[in-house]
Amino acid sequence: ADLAGQAAFDRVIAADSRIEPRDWMPEAYRKTLVRQISQHAHSEIIGMQPEANWISRAPSLKRKAILMAKVQDEAGHGLYLYSAAETLGTPRQKMTEDLIAGKARYSSIFNYPTLSWADVGAIGWLVDGAAICNQVPLCRASYGPYGRAMVRVCKEESFHQRQGFEILLELANGTPAQKQMAQHAVNRWYAPSLMMFGPPDDDSPNSIQSMAWNIKRFSNDELRQRFVGMMVEQVEVLGLTLPDDQIRFNDETNKWEHGPLDWDEFKEVLAGRGPCNSQRLERRREAHEDGAWVREAAAAYAARKHAEQEG
Ligand code: ACO
């Protein structure tokens, strides 16, 4: 063990300061960051699929342009995050291979189908809302490249959430059928978006260590409760309801409470048996294979530029 390295690392963490790529760090810290950052990157990339499903059917040119920009933002987030993970020594190619081989995790939420246009609104409002709630504290993560990447990601996510809210607001003030479509979408996305925050604290094996290392700043349940409190106010502005009659603010604990979640369903989705898991991976594999010529061309171009410089 590198005692001086460990002591320096401990001092940085105790001072709530930042670890940078060339600093000494414990192997377990490196490993947990690669795990979380690569999962996060994969989520952004797989998350493009459910929404891209509606690009060709967006109800107007304006909606189509906004949705395309949003899906492109997600690609950008994936790329920053792969780059952040690469600073820890794991090549992007390895992370991608693990994803398409079905060996890597990505967020459970993206294994649910987008059945109507209102789902695009519900994803923006609930899913991106949950993402912001989870990711704003990650801007202060102790690993520099991750925290810095989160700043821009969160700004773009805020725009995504506003566009989702606005889609739902317009539908909720539209015809009765449109309002019903919006309500059905909220009904379907509510519980899965709460499960995005991860298992309950007493079933979250990584939380304690990640919080001690200042990677996570709040526990899964703390963030989930905070999110419910935000949504319960916003849903009133929409004129819709959340499919949970047990939401309440507990004055004694000073926390929001919500109804029980189906953690068996969550485990099934994590085990690869959610509604869309196999489709998502199949599409990702196809896209990777279809893109082989781009990677080959880029590599050949880089090699030629390099040879020209040498020559
Ligand atoms: N979907 C899939 N897997 C999950 C989820 C989820 N919603 N929540 C937890 N898990 C996995 C964890 O990855 C972990 O598995 P692993 O040990 O094989 O890696 C296991 O369940 C146990 O969970 P925790 O011990 O609570 O794991 P962790 O401390 O990493 O907390 C969390 C999970 C909160 C998701 C954390 O990793 C995190 O904040 N990640 C960054 C945010 C992120 O990835 N967001 C992606 C979706 S948002 C978006 O892309 C728009």
Which residue, by CA, sits nearest to atom 47 of ligand 1?
107
Q: Which atom of ligand 1 is nearest to the CA of 127?
A: 51
Question: Does pLDDT of 1 surpass 80?
Answer: no
Pocket of ligand 1 (CB under 6 A): 35-36, 39-40, 43-44, 47, 105, 107-108, 131, 134, 195-199, 204-207, 210, 216, 220, 270
Which residue, by CA, sits nearest to atom 33 of ligand 1?
198
Q: Percentage of the chain surpassing pLDDT 90?
A: 99
Q: For residue 6, how far is its CA from the centre of ligand 1 (angstroms)?
A: 27
Per-residue pLDDT tens for 185-229? 999 999 999 999 999 999 999 999 999 999 999 999 999 999 999
Map tokens 């996060």 to a residue. 40
Q: For residue 222, how far is its CA from the centre of ligand 1 (angstroms)?
A: 14
Q: CB-based burial of residue 77 (10 Å sphere; 0-12 exposed, 13-18 middle, 19+ buried)?
A: buried
88 phi/psi in degrees, rounded to 5: -95, 5
Per-residue pLDDT tens for 107-135? 999 999 999 999 999 999 999 999 999 99
Q: For residue 26, how far is its CA from the centre of ligand 1 (angstroms)?
A: 21
Probe residue for ligand 1, chosen from 29, 33, 34, 36 as the CB with the greatest number of ligand atoms within 8 Å: 36
By C-alpha distance, which of 278, 261, 258 is closest to 269?
278
Q: Which residues contact 28 (CB under 8 A, 6 or more apart)?
A: 209
Q: For residue 198, how far is its CA from the centre of ligand 1 (angstroms)?
A: 6
Per-residue pLDDT tens for 166-190? 999 999 999 999 999 999 999 999 9
DSSP letter for 168, please: H
| Distance (Å, whole) CA 94 – CA 118 | 36
Query: What's the average model confidence in pLDDT over 143-162?
Result: 97
Q: For residue 196, how far is its CA from the centre of ligand 1 (angstroms)?
A: 7
- Interface predicted TM-score of the whole assembly (ipTM), two decimals: 0.98
Model confidence, pTM: 0.97
By C-alpha distance, which of 127, 113, 160 is closest to 227?
127
Q: For residue 210, how far is its CA from the centre of ligand 1 (angstroms)?
A: 12
Q: Which two tokens stand for residue 229?
A: 């409190």
Q: Which helix (H) or strand (E) holds 248?
A: strand 248-250
Probe residue for ligand 1, chosen from 79, 107, 202 as the CB with the greatest number of ligand atoms within 8 Å: 107
